[in-house]
Structures are given as C-alpha cells and as structure tokens.
Amino acid sequence: MPLVVPSSKPPSQAAEAAAPAKVEPPWEKFDKSRCAFDVAPLQSTNAVFAAARQLRDRAELDALVAKGIAGTPERLGLRVEGTYGARCECEPFHAWFAAPEKSFTPIINIENKGVPNLGFGTALSFIVVGYFSGAYINIYEQRRVQGVEPREPDEEERPFWPKRAPEFCVEALCYWPPQRMSDAELAETDDRTRFLHMVGTKHIKHMATRKIPRCTTPWTPAPRPRSAQIEWP
C-alpha cells in the first residue's frame, strides 16, 4: 500500500491551490474613461443612424469592447432604451440584446464636445452613434469626466453608482417617442403602460430643451418583459 503523506495546508487552502487561477477580463484594468475622440472624424450621421441596430448578444458586446481596448474601435448606431421605470437611480441608457430579448446591459455614456448630455433616465427610446472605448467605468467616473459637481449619492443611488459598465463614447444621438396611443387604447391598457406613456410625453418636452433631435428613422421598440435580467460584467 502506498504511503499517503497528509497535506500541511488546511483543506480550504489546499482546495484554493488546486483551483485554476482566475483569469481577469481584458477590460478589468481600464476603469478610467478612454473617450479621447481621436478616431476618424464622423463625416455624416445619416447612414449610421439609418443602420442603427441592437446588440446581438453578450459576445458581440465583448468583441466591440475588445476592439476599443486594441485602439481600433468600431463606430455604430446603437438602439437603446431610457431607464425610467427600471427601478434604479442609474445611467440613462440600457442596451437590450436581440438574442434573446430578455436581458440587457447598462452602458455609461460620455458625450463628445458639442453633443447634448441627456443626464437622466427617460421613458423614451434612442439611437446613440459612437463606439465602445474598451473601458468599464462607473457613475463616479462619468460625473468626473462630464464635469458634474461632486456629491455623495443618495440612498437610492448608492447601490448603483459604484457598478461598472461598458463606456460608450457618444458622437451623436436622437430620440424616438413612445408608440402613440388613443384615449380608448390608454383606457384599456394596464396602469404601468399608461403611466409610462404619460411620462414619455413629458420627457419629449425635455428633449427640445436639451436640443436632442427626434430620429428620422422610425421604429417600434419591442415590448420588454418585466422579468428581464440585467447583465452586469
């Protein structure tokens, strides 16, 4: 019978030593904004807005972030949703994955000089034109870059501000209003849809104040299930 030499390490340490080393994602070290806006100038937004789409899935997001890390970001028009009604005091945009349409990723926006800053979550839909920088930043970093006066988050904001999300460098944006509903349709729908429709109508007025144009390429955003899952990194 072979001689068994007992390990001098406690069982927990021995298990940790045997486990494979955890590989950090490539963006882990990039927690500061990388929106330098030194990519090739955007000549015209028309074609990019017209080709706007959703992210396909998490794998496509990771690939776009990797291009940003490599210094070769891919410019695209991204269809995103405002975060009003998402039960969070968080970033203004969520990007839904097309496959399946039951999950989404938050994105943290940094606007180029001269691009309007949305600043809050709305009940509207948007197309944002720009690129993923390769960084994953949080709200503290976003506010620093945007020059917002520092302050401590309130009780509702505190859980979300430290969370990191992919940074999207915004070169242009436009909004799309909620689907128009008649009084009869509003009377028959549920309270939540009715309320969001009312709030969205008010938010349209804010777009004029902030000089954010209405999109010229119409689309009907798909209804989002209430059981949707947010995909944090």
Q: Domain locations in the chain?
A: 26-223
56 CB-side CA count, 13 A: 5
Q: What is the pLDDT of residue 186?
A: 58
What mean pLDDT comes out for the span 118-134?
A: 90
Give the range among 95-99, 114-118, 179-183, 189-193 with minimum mean pLDDT.
Answer: 179-183
Residue 169 and residue 34: Cα distance in Å, rounded?
A: 8
Q: Is pLDDT at 189 greater than 90 in this prediction?
A: no
Q: What is the pLDDT of residue 89?
A: 73
Q: What is the pLDDT of residue 64?
A: 97
Handedness of CA 61, 62, 63, 67 (dihedral sign): positive
Residue 231 and residue 62: Cα distance in Å, rounded?
A: 12
Predicted structure pTM score: 0.78
Output helix, strand, coil percentages for the chain, rounded to the nearest 5: 25, 20, 55
Q: Is pLDDT at 2 greater than 70 in this prediction?
A: no
Which residues, 6+ apart, have CB-to-CB distance to 9 below 8 Å? 17
Beta bridge partners of 47: none
40 CB-side CA count, 13 A: 6
Q: Which two tokens stand for residue 173?
A: 């944006």
Q: What is the pLDDT of residue 17?
A: 57
Q: Is pLDDT at 119 greater than 70 in this prediction?
A: yes
Which residues, 6+ apart, have CB-to-CB distance to 66 below 8 Å? 26, 134
Beta bridge partners of 229: 103
Q: What is the pLDDT of residue 40?
A: 78
Residue 178 and residue 185: Cα distance in Å, rounded?
A: 13
Q: What is the pLDDT of residue 44?
A: 82
Three-state DSSP at 17 gives helix
Backbone torsions φ then ψ of 207, nearest 5 degrees: -65, -40
The percentage of the chain sitting over the pLDDT mark of 70, rounded to a whole number, equals: 72
Q: Is pLDDT at 98 greater than 70 in this prediction?
A: yes
Q: Is pLDDT at 5 greater than 50 in this prediction?
A: no
